[in-house]
A and B are shown apart, each in its own frame.
Chain A
Amino acid sequence: MPLQTDGMVVKNRRVKSLHFLLGIYCPPIADQIKPGQFVMLKVSDNASPLLRRPFSVYRSYPASHPERRKRGHLLILYKKVGKGTRTMTTLGKGQKVNLIGPLGNGFALSPLPSSAHCILIGGGVGIASLYSLAEALRGRKCFVFIGGRTKDDILGVEDFRKLDTTIFTATEDGSLGFRGTVVDLFLSQAKKFKGNEKYHVYACGPVPMLRALAGTVKSKKFICQVSLEARMGCGFGACWGCVAKTKHFKLPYQRVCQEGPVFRLEDLAWE
């Protein structure tokens, strides 16, 4: 059950170019949130912007976390793109913000053996929902593909490296790593993933990236879960504003905030 609660800003700094990292002290949500879930943040206390904004949680530090000083913290990795995120960059340490969370279904992890091979694919700020997943997958063989338009959009490499993952990077302008999209890069490496075992693919990024992934990952050896980004009204299932089209026969439009944000790739219908 999601909670509505206040949190306190503990940090808000630029990571690179338009990307920022917001830290919020909010123990009730930090204790509960699972990889792939998100929070709705009210970034101002007035009507501008009016709606809350959805953010996946990059890292969370529950009460049981070994780093005592960080317990209760949530980290949100965000890109300054519009009015909401512009306002967000002005939040200062000590300021109060209101949150609703944890929301959505998160990634399904339970039937995953420790021998499973995992592939994480993040486009741009979409990588934000994959770090806590990589943490939860620790001990398993993880390949992380990070893509963006330019090297300024490649985020989290240092953090993922600390988790002993194998990292690949792609930029559309070739300024870092492979030149092309992250899905192209994944395909170019696909021969590495031969053999009999199944691969669990977890992806988050803009719609064109996920659509490209759906068009290329046809083999049954890849089991894909994708986390969708969507404009949201409420974030907790009340308004049906954030739907994605699925292959469901009767009611194809499912709520990203409630039935998602994580869907099985094969269940989604692309227009």
Chain B
Amino acid sequence: MEDCDLTIRIGKMVLKNPVVVSSGTFGFGEEFEGFFDLNRLGALIPKGISLKPMAGNPPPRIFETEGGILNSIGLQNPGFRDFIKNKLPYYKNLKTHLIINFFGKTQKEYVELARRFDNVAGVSGLEMNISCPNVKRGGIVFGTDPQMAYRLVQAVRKATALTLMVKLSPNVTDIALMAKSVEEGGADAVSLVNTFRAMAVNVHTRKPELGNTIGGLSGPAIKPIALRMVWEVGRAVKIPIIGMGGIMSAEDAIEFILVGASAIQIGTANLINPRTGLEVLQGIQKYLAKNRIDRIQKLIGTLG
């Protein structure tokens, strides 16, 4: 089982395995320290960072629907300076890749953040969020217009030599077109999908369940749509795909790999079972051993 080669290359990074934990569902990492050894992960992506601190959306911010979770956190974060001062030191001793999820209100802010993180020791890669559904100017305007996305990625590309992933929104008509645009703009990889814009209503109060009315839907409920989108993107681009959307188990993760994902991200499941990342990794190893597959690369995109 230990003999299987699980390494995956994403841009300049070599991940020791394809299991990555998703931004916004893994805090800053330290919250999970007591649950399992974080060094087992292929990469860790802390909560998204903006140039200035952001207060986030008014509560209630979370609501459970059938098989899923609606959230409207609103990208609350302490901002670049505080992150560097108070959060970054924690990652110094980690033996896994640190990928920074970041976003801006304007192209200038995206470029500025990429430029700043480019000089930060310990950062392996960047995940550019152009897809948060909960903040009007939290990127989704860039994430739904292929031309704007192309120009934004091109500008950010010039500002950093780090591996650049772009996190795509599923709230578009043609996600393959979006993926192609960011590939042409110079992205090293795409990660998809972010959450689906959605809402829930309380019939007793006749009010929305979320303080922000609209939120993003995640969890097992979105997995079939996410899979379809990863499959479509896989047929459209040559850069690696990091697939996500409702992955709760190793079997879910393998489905994403089969449709074309080189690596996967665990999101919502972290909140329910904080050890999901480790359990998915062990499940993938078991699957490869059972099917006598010696390298995970041989599994990617092999949907029959």
A50 B58 Cβ-Cβ under 8 A: no
Interface membership of chain B positions 47-90, coded 1 if the CB is closer than 8 angstroms to chain A and 0 otherwise: 10000010110111111101111010100101000000000000
Instruction: Tally A-B pairs: CB < 8 A.
Output: 98
Query: B274, A100: Cβ atoms under 8 Å?
Result: yes
Q: Which residue of B lies closest to A1 (CB)?
A: B34
Contact A47–B248 (Cβ < 8 Å): yes
Whether A243 and B64, one on each chain, are in contact in the complex, defined by CB atoms closer than 8 angstroms, is no
- Closest approach, in angstroms, between the C-beta of A254 and any C-beta of chain B? 10
Partner among B26, B78, B275 whose Cβ is within 8 Å of the Cβ of A238:
B26
Q: Are A42 and B272 in contact (CB under 8 A)?
A: yes
Which of B64, B248, B274 is in CB contact (< 8 Å) with A4? Answer: B274
Identity of the chain A residue whose Cβ is nearest the Cβ of B57 in the assembled complex: A253
A170 to chain B, nearest CB (A): 25
Contact of B271 among A239, A251, A252 (CB under 8 A): A239
Interface string of A256-271 (1 = CB under 8 A from B): 0010000000000001
Q: In the bound complex, what is the Cα–Cα distance between A42 and B64 (angstroms)?
A: 14
Q: Which residue on chain B has the smallest CB distance to residue A53?
A: B64
Q: How far is the CB of A57 from chain B (nearest CB, A)?
A: 19
A233 near B27: Cβ-Cβ < 8 Å: no
Partner of B270, one of A2, A238, A253, A271: A238
A1-B33, A4-B275, A238-B26 known; A233 vs B66 contact (CB < 8 Å): no
Question: Which B residues are closer than 8 A to A by beta carbons?
Answer: 24-27, 31-35, 47, 53, 55-56, 58-64, 66-69, 71, 73, 76, 78, 219-220, 248, 268, 270-275
Q: Could you give 29 example pairs across A and B, Cβ below 8 Å?
A: A4-B273, A4-B274, A42-B273, A47-B219, A47-B248, A48-B66, A50-B64, A50-B219, A50-B220, A50-B268, A51-B64, A51-B69, A230-B59, A231-B62, A233-B69, A234-B271, A236-B27, A239-B24, A239-B25, A239-B71, A239-B73, A240-B61, A241-B62, A243-B61, A251-B76, A251-B78, A253-B59, A253-B76, A258-B31
